[in-house]
Amino acid sequence: MTDTVISSECTQCETLLRPGNTNCAGCGMSIGLQWLDKALAGDKTYLVIPACCGIVTAGAFPTTAYGTPTAASTFASAAAIATGISTVVDLNKDDHITTCWAGDGGTYDIGMATISAAAERNENLLYICYDNEIYGNTGGQRSSATPEGVATTTTPKGKAEIKKDMMAIMASHRIPYAATLSVAHHADFMRKLEIARRTKGFRFLLMLSPCPTGWKSEPAESVSLIDHAVRSGLFPLYEVFDGLRYRINIQPDGTPIDAYLERQRRYTNSTVEPKILQRHIESQWQYLNGMAKTFPADDERAAL
Amino acid sequence: MRIGMPARRHLSVRVIKRKSPTMGKELVTGNHAAGRTLAMAGEANRKARGCACGAYPITPQTEIIEYLRACELTKGRIVPVESEHSAMAVCMGASLAGARSFTASSSNGLSYMTENVFAAGYYRLPIVMIAVNRTLGPPWNIWVDQGDSLALRDAPWIQFYVESHQDLVDTILMAFRLAEDHRILLPTMVAMDGFVTSHTQMVVDLPDQEQVDRYLPNCDVPHRLRSDHPTTVGGLTWPSETERHRKDLQRAMERVPDVLDEAIDEFENVFDRKPHGILSAEHVEDADTIFVACNTMARTLRGVIKKRRESGERIGMIKAKMFRPFPRKAYRDLLSRAKKVGVLDRNHSPGSGGIFWQEIAASLQGHSGPLLQDYLVGLGGGDVTPEVIDEIIDDLAKRNQAGEPVWKEVAA
Ligand SMILES: Cc1ncc(C[n+]2csc(CCOP(=O)(O)OP(=O)(O)O)c2C)c(N)n1
Ligand code: SF4
């Protein structure tokens, strides 16, 4: 069995993500995974990665760019395979953090039933969705995380439907912790990972992940695009505790959305006017601010 | 619909302690026997990494998972998932983390699970699954038909078909030994007839926990995830490595008969009786005509053959038990001397015929063999009575040439 082709060896595995991985230049995963490495530095981690760019990242047999034990799962099954792993970790008091690292396709679409069930059972695992709003691995098709107006290979004239609100769905499961992550806000990112690390049960983190290949943007602008998405209010940074208590981390500063759209050719032929998007952003914030005001996170849980 | 014994009658695995082996005989349903054997196998791994499984109900398998969910395992957890696809995924995760793992399903549950059934085998994870054979729908039909598990014939799984409750219990125990053996490391499926076996009661010699502990070594998944040796399991490969991966699978399959023989010998040591092996050939030495059947059809066939032999017919049978790996040589050796061979297939591959027939035809390929005729019988749970089998035997006796698979319809 030892020589069977199934496990790729990691030779120098000081870090969770090693140099030599196959990510495109400017990929949000490269930042996200390195920050994850820092945040979990003291912990042993098992990664579960479904079919998506994130597993291609590892490179091909017999080596791997992942410096931590990693299972490449079937597309829909990350949260269920992770359930099996974390169950055995807990039975054996192994003291490992079982982490899913999945794209929006594996989370919002094909993995929806699986993640919902794992959340409902409050499995002890950390689920991070790197949301590049597209099926990157298969060459750029729409997902239910693709925003309205965006051109993909399966929505050549721009997507007609709005983006699914995954945070609301996860919050409705009353999981202990859900939060959004930005690769342009290091301190906020690390703080949320620290809360996630200390929390037991199902933790969901949603990271907007720049994808120059799918977004048709400049690799060097990836971080600034995410910064723009946060400042304009398009991508709110917030946390939900127990699915009921809200905390907003950064309020929009009035930056208009236009330059965010202009810097990505996926929006070039969009029929959705910036002012309509702006209105959608406003109603989203009305809702979020309302929740945060009416149901604020209590200081104890949110202290960090 | 719920026929048979309520699953919640004997719940805790740990309370199953008996004084002497003769007290092990109990009247139980197939589902109950399966649930209890699985639970004892899980319990037996308590000193290693325990057991964890995903489970999802479907008629006629439901009582197995109800039984498992009600068990108190020392170091184990049965996760009540939202689908069969996730049931197998939880099993894969558990196995990847080094635990013993098993599940059960039927019919559309097995087909819904298919992607992960293949994945479990390709990952080389020693998961044991009970398939309670049921017709695939639509149209919906809960009765027995082997088409569900046979649809998974190209998956990297060992497959056994059992004829009785005792055969079921014994085969499940051997399945764990086989699957977890480092020379094999393949998931293993044990298929029984829906209702005919799952919901009827028979007296079964059930083992006790101490015996199961002795029979099953601790489960050790050699390629499990571990921090002291980080690997990425199941990542990308190029064609040449994939070819190697498939050849490894084939070689592991080829080792199954020998390892099974060892498992049978050890079974005799621990339980003091001999379980059935890859197949049972009965009265074949002098037989001109040999019939092949699996599961409870083989039991009915046995009765008919016995009677007809008493009236002087030179007729024998093979009870087919191991379907994967398919023991081609054994069939060739046993069948090539016969004049006529009839295959009873309770399954149907549209556009082709019966699946056992296809396999046997492939086994005899290139040998001047017998007249080989397929009978599609008992599909969708039709009752294959001794009279039906008599008619089939008469049909074969009249033939001097094989034809297309015969649809042998039976009364509802
Ligand atoms: C069951 C199944 N259906 C389809 C695919 C093909 N497939 C692989 S990855 C993928 C899209 C992944 O998209 P996403 O999850 O957003 O991750 P990304 O590739 O963008 O990182 C698809 C459709 C598959 N591997 N398995
Ligand atoms: S396609 Fe997008 S998500 Fe995939 S590796 Fe490239 S930049 Fe990253």
Which structural domains are found in chain A, ordered by start? 4-303 (3.40.50.970)
Question: Could you list the mean pLDDT of each consecutive 10-residue stretch along chain A, which spans 304 residues?
Answer: 76 87 96 97 94 94 93 98 98 96 98 98 98 97 97 96 97 98 98 97 98 98 98 98 97 96 96 92 97 90 66
Residues B122 and B263 in one domain: yes
Write down the residue that tokens 């298919």 correspond to.
B114
Counting atoms of ligand 1 from 1, which one is nearest the CA of A104?
16
What's residue B10's pLDDT? 40
For chain B, the domain total comes to 2
Domain boundary among the residues B216, B248, B271 is at: B271
Q: Which residues of A touch B235 (CB under 8 A)?
A: 8, 55, 58-61, 64, 70, 72
Domain that residue B310 falls in:
279-408
Residues B78 and B104 in one domain: yes
Contact between residue A93 and residue B250 where contact means Cβ atoms under 8 Å apart? no
What's residue B410's pLDDT? 85
Question: Could you tell me the pTM of the whole model?
Answer: 0.95
Average pLDDT of the residues of chain B = 94
What's residue A3's pLDDT? 60
Residues B234 and B341 in one domain: no
Which strands, in side-by-side order, build the sheet including A96-103?
Answer: A7-9, B231-233, A70-72, A44-49, A96-103, A126-131, A203-208, A177-182, A237-241, A245-250
What's residue B5's pLDDT? 36
Helix (H, G, I), strand (E, B) or coil at B183: coil
Alpha helices in B10-106 (DSSP H): 30-43, 62-70, 84-96
> How far apart (Å, rounded) are the C-alpha atoms in residues A281 and B344?
66
Does residue B9 carry a pLDDT above 70? Answer: no
Does residue B14 carry a pLDDT above 50? Answer: no
In this prediction the ipTM stands at: 0.96
State the smallest CA–CA distance between residue B43 and chain A in angstroms. Answer: 13
State the smallest CA–CA distance between residue B85 and chain A in angstroms. Answer: 8
Residues B267 and B283 in one domain: no
Inspect the interface and report whether the beta carbons of B182 and A73 lie closer than 8 Å: no
What's residue A182's pLDDT? 98
Mutate to test the interface with A, among B232, B233, B249 (most CBs of A within 10 A): B232
Residues B368 and B228 in one domain: no
What's residue A1's pLDDT? 53
Task: Give A53 Cα–ligand 1 centroid separation in angstroms.
Answer: 8
Strand residue runs (E) in B315-370:
315-320, 322-324, 340-345
Which DSSP symbol is given to B278?
A: S
pLDDT in tens, B309-351: 999 999 999 999 999 999 999 999 999 999 999 999 999 999 9
Q: Which protein residue has the closest C-alpha to ligand 2 atom 2?
A: A211
Inspect the interface and report whether the beta carbons of A83 and B54 lie closer than 8 Å: yes
Domain boundary among the residues B215, B240, B271 is at: B271
What's residue B15's pLDDT? 37
What's residue A302's pLDDT? 64
Asked whether residue B16 is domain-assigned, the answer is no
Asked whether residue B88 is domain-assigned, the answer is yes
Query: Chain A within 8 Å of B384 (Cβ-Cβ)?
Result: no
What's residue B366's pLDDT? 81
pLDDT category, B367, cuts 50, 70, 90? confident
Residues B266 and B326 in one domain: no
pLDDT category, B397, cuts 50, 70, 90? very high
Task: Give B65 Cα–ligand 1 centroid separation in angstroms.
Answer: 32
Pick from A4, A72, A89: CB nearest B97: A89
> How far apart (Å, rounded) are the C-alpha atoms in residues B131 and B119?
17
Closest by Cα among A105, A111, A102 to A130: A102
What's residue A271's pLDDT? 87
Asked whether residue B304 is domain-assigned, the answer is yes
Least confident of A245-254, A294-303, B10-19, B174-183: B10-19
> How far apart (Å, rounded) are the C-alpha atoms in residues A203 and A179?
8
Asked whether residue B188 is domain-assigned, the answer is yes
Structure-block tokens of residue A68: 């931590």
User: Which mutation among A132, A153, A265 tests ligand 2's pocket best, with the greatest number of atoms within 8 A of CB?
Assistant: A132
Asked whether residue B14 is domain-assigned, the answer is no
What's residue A9's pLDDT? 87
Q: In whole angstroms, how far apart are CA A76 and each of A72, A110, B88, B322?
A: 11, 5, 12, 32
Q: In whole angstroms, how far apart are CA A113 and each of A119, A120, B94?
A: 10, 10, 20
Task: Give A138 Cα–ligand 1 centroid separation in angstroms.
Answer: 6
Q: Which protein residue has the closest C-alpha to ligand 1 atom 11?
A: A135
* Domain containing residue B306: CATH number: 3.40.50.920
Residues B129 and B260 in one domain: yes
Does residue B73 carry a pLDDT above 50? Answer: yes
Closest by Cα among A125, A237, A224 to A192: A237
Domain boundary among the residues B207, B239, B271 is at: B271
- Please list, residue by residue across A219-239, b when 16 or more beta carbons sit within 10 angstroms of its beta carbon and e when fewer do: eebbbbbbbbbbbbbbbbbbb
pLDDT in tens, B260-314: 999 999 999 999 999 999 999 999 999 999 999 999 999 999 999 999 999 999 9
Residues B240 and B289 in one domain: no
Average pLDDT over residues B214-225: 98
- Strands B322-324, B158-161: pairing kind: antiparallel
Asked whether residue B118 is domain-assigned, the answer is yes
* Domain containing residue B131: CATH number: 3.40.50.970
pLDDT in tens, B104-136: 999 999 999 999 999 999 999 999 999 999 999
What's residue B412's pLDDT? 64
Residues B137 and B51 in one domain: yes
Query: Chain A within 8 Å of B123 (Cβ-Cβ)?
Result: yes
DSSP H or E run through A54: helix A53-56
Does residue B94 carry a pLDDT above 90? Answer: yes
DSSP H or E run through B27: strand B25-29
Average pLDDT over residues B346-357: 98
What's residue B12's pLDDT? 42
Residues B123 and B260 in one domain: yes
Residues B200 and B340 in one domain: no
Q: Chain B 231-270, CB below 8 Å of chain A: which residues? A: 231-238, 241-242, 244-245, 248
Residues B241 and B385 in one domain: no
State the smallest CA–CA distance between residue A250 and chain B in angstroms. Answer: 37
Q: Which residues of B touch A116 (CB under 8 A)?
A: 82
> Do you know the residue count of chain A?
304
> How far apart (Å, rounded) are the C-alpha atoms in residues B97 and A215?
37
